């Protein structure tokens, strides 16, 4: 059994807003749902499966949203691995469709951390008392960004990775964002700009960090027969992988992420290799997140990520692996502090040939979207999704 | 030498209480599994490696080396260093590096245990300083 070929992404929609003080969170979820449904050419009443994570408001997330939108569901999935939930939702939707549990799946993400003044990367997230690890972490003030920075410190120590190499990741994202009218940061930046930006948490600078934005996105995933009947390019799901990486009782290696597990699983199911991938959406909460995931996914050897990302190798039309051609979380959008949805959406745009002409990968037929949700340096959920234009 | 950060008290539950009681007395405990022989951190009733419930707290040597760290420069009012220290017993633990020039901290540096009181005085947090 496999999900390869069992389902198609037929609707994809990214909300154009990056700041939504005048919209409710529920409204944002419904607006992205409407956008994806209309993109697919379906109606709300066609939806019989709904997938969302903890960013959805209302009673127990899916229940509240189903009520608000008036959905009649026969399959629900509230899997939450933070920002990687949406890759996993897409793969789970393909599974549910393959098993006959639903025909048309809706996945939504939305949030308004910018309007609510939340999600600043230098604040530690306050724990609730029953969380086992809380006492052993929170009093040390493990600021979100610092828990990625520690991965960078160790990677630099073991492999000689430099701040200038990390900066190339932001430079590539900025080259793409200049063509995205909705992107939060559209100015092209240089390696010098990144390394000269204020130090936030060593060795990460301000420009090593993603944006904080309001907004969201949604996907419509259907069974093959329905996909055929729709007047949209068909994006077939070939494979998915998921993993949770944690501290393992104190035996762990910060230079690896869960992508080292979820990536090979997705490639095996898809029957393709990293060399075959023409476009990659790579989770970019911070520059170091991208570098470690690229290595773990097999785009280069462990430890060689610094050299791999340098000299524009991630810039569309310039380098070997065009990534995050919408500008990614580093420049475009990171709604709800969860970057996975927008990663899948840009991969769908590339496979449809609907990316901006300046960043469109010619004849793009094979793409990957990978997410890391949670915290790279403590525990995180990884989701890898491989898709093909049919 | 940085000014000291105000340290919030750890949330305590029945499983973690012996650990925090020992910290209050200036002792760091590490959980050992007598079934598989391995130490782990943070402490659990069940060994996360073999899932035996034959686990016991033992006093830590109080030495280790810095596995990784980051000096947080923006956000909080006072710069501080977050770190993972590899304990002499084996496991890595999240901690702060204190009582030193934060810009001189290095990966691989040998460190020794110190305790810093939490805000409400209920216990102390185990932290490390260059040995
Ligand atoms: Zn054991």
The torsion of the CA quartet A132, A138, A140, A143, rounded to 10 degrees, works out to 130
Residue with tokens 């979100």: A144
Q: Quote the pLDDT of residue A126.
A: 67
Tokens of A197: 């930006």
Q: Quote the pLDDT of residue A58.
A: 83
A-chain CB neighbours of B96 within 8 Å are 140-141
- Answer for the pair B45, B27: CB distance below 8 angstroms, yes or no: no
> What does the alpha-carbon distance between residue B85 and residue B8 come to, in Å, rounded to a whole number?
20
Portion of chain B with pLDDT greater than 90, in percent: 92
CB atoms within 10 A of CB A180: 23
For residue B3, pLDDT beyond 70? no
Q: Quote the pLDDT of residue B1.
A: 44
CB contact under 8 A, B41 and A136: yes
Crossing angle (nearest 10°) for helices A163-177 and A287-297: 100
CB atoms within 10 A of CB A63: 15
Nearest to B10 among A128, A139, A200 (CB): A139
The dihedral of CA B31, B32, B36, B41: what is its sign?
A: positive
A-chain CB neighbours of B80 within 8 Å are 141
B-chain CB neighbours of A129 within 8 Å are 11-13
> What does the alpha-carbon distance between residue A187 and residue A166 come to, in Å, rounded to a whole number?
18
Q: Which of A118, A125, A139, A151 to mutate to test the interface with B (most CBs of B within 10 A)?
A: A139
Crossing angle (nearest 10°) for helices A144-159 and A287-297: 50
Q: How far is CA B112 from the centre of its chain?
A: 11
Q: How far is CA B17 from the centre of its chain?
A: 15
Helix (H), strand (E) counts: chain B = 1, 8
CA of B33 to the centre of ligand 1 (A): 5
Residues whose beta carbons lie less than 5 angstroms from ion ligand 1 = B 33, 35-36, 47, 49-50, 52
* ipTM for the predicted complex: 0.97
Paired strand residues for B116? B125
Segment B33-87, tens digit of pLDDT: 999 999 999 999 999 999 999 999 999 999 999 999 999 998 777 899 999 999 9
Please indicate, yes or no, whether the overall pTM of this predicted structure exceeds 0.95.
Answer: yes
> What does the alpha-carbon distance between residue A226 and residue B62 come to, in Å, rounded to a whole number?
63
Q: Is A72 exposed, middle or buried (0-12, 13-18, 19+ CB in 10 A)?
A: exposed
The mean pLDDT values, 10 residues at a time, for chain A of 390 residues are: 97 98 96 98 98 92 95 97 98 98 98 83 65 91 95 98 98 98 98 97 98 97 98 98 98 98 98 98 98 98 98 98 98 97 98 98 98 97 98
Task: Could you please state the CATH topology (level 3) that the domain comprising B17-130 is classified under.
Answer: OB fold (Dihydrolipoamide Acetyltransferase, E2P) (2.40.50)
């Amino acid at each position: 059994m496999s999900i390869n070929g069992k389902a198609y992404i037929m609707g994809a929609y990214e909300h154009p807003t990056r700041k939504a003080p005048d919209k409710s969170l529920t409204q944002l979820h419904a607006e992205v749902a409407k956008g994806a449904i209309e993109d697919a050419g379906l109606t709300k009443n066609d939806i019989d499966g709904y997938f969302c994570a903890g960013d959805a408001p209302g009673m127990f997330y899916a229940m509240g949203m189903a009520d608000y939108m008036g959905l009649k569901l026969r399959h629900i999935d509230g899997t939450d691995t933070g920002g990687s939930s949406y890759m996993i939702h897409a793969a789970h939707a393909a599974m549910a469709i393959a098993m006959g549990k639903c025909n048309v799946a809706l996945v939504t993400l939305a949030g308004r951390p910018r309007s609510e003044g939340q999600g600043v990367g230098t604040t530690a997230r306050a724990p609730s008392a029953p969380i086992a690890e809380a006492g052993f972490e929170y009093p040390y003030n493990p600021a979100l960004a610092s828990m990625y920075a520690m991965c960078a410190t160790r990677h630099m120590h073991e492999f000689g990775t430099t701040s200038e190499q990390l900066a190339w990741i932001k430079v590539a994202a900025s080259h793409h964002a200049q063509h995205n009218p909705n992107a939060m940061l559209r100015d092209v930046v240089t390696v010098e700009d990144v390394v000269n930006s204020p130090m936030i948490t060593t060795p990460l600078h301000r420009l090593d960090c993603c944006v904080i934005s309001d907004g969201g996105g949604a996907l419509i995933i259907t069974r093959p027969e329905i996909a055929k009947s729709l007047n949209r390019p068909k994006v077939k799901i070939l494979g998915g992988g998921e993993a949770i990486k944690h501290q393992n009782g104190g035996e762990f290696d910060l230079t690896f992420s869960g992508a080292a597990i979820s990536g090979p699983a997705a490639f095996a199911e898809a029957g393709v290799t990293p060399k075959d991938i023409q476009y990659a959406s790579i989770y970019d909460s911070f520059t170091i997140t991208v570098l470690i995931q690229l290595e773990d996914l097999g785009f280069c050897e462990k430890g060689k990520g610094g050299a791999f990302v340098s000299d524009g190798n991630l810039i569309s039309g310039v380098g070997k692996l065009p990534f995050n051609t919408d500008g990614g979380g580093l420049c475009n959008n990171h709604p709800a502090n969860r970057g996975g949805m927008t990663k899948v959406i840009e991969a769908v745009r590339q496979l449809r040939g609907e990316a901006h002409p300046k960043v469109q990968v010619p004849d793009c037929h094979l793409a990957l979207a990978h997410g890391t949700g949670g915290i790279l340096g403590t525990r995180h959920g990884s989701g890898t999704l491989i898709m093909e234009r049919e | 030498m940085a000014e000291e950060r105000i340290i919030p008290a750890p949330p305590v539950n029945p499983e973690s209480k012996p650990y925090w009681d020992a910290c209050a007395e200036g002792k760091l405990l590490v959980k050992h599994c007598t079934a598989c022989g391995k130490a782990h951190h943070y402490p659990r009733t069940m060994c996360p490696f073999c899932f035996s419930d034959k686990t016991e707290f033992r006093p830590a040597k109080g030495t280790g080396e810095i596995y990784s760290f980051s000096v947080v420069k923006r956000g909080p009012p006072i710069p501080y260093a977050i770190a993972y220290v590899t304990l002499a017993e084996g496991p890595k633990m999240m901690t702060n590096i204190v009582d030193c020039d934060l810009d001189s901290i290095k990966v691989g540096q040998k460190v020794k245990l110190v305790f810093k009181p939490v805000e409400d005085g209920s216990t102390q947090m185990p932290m490390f300083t260059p040995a």
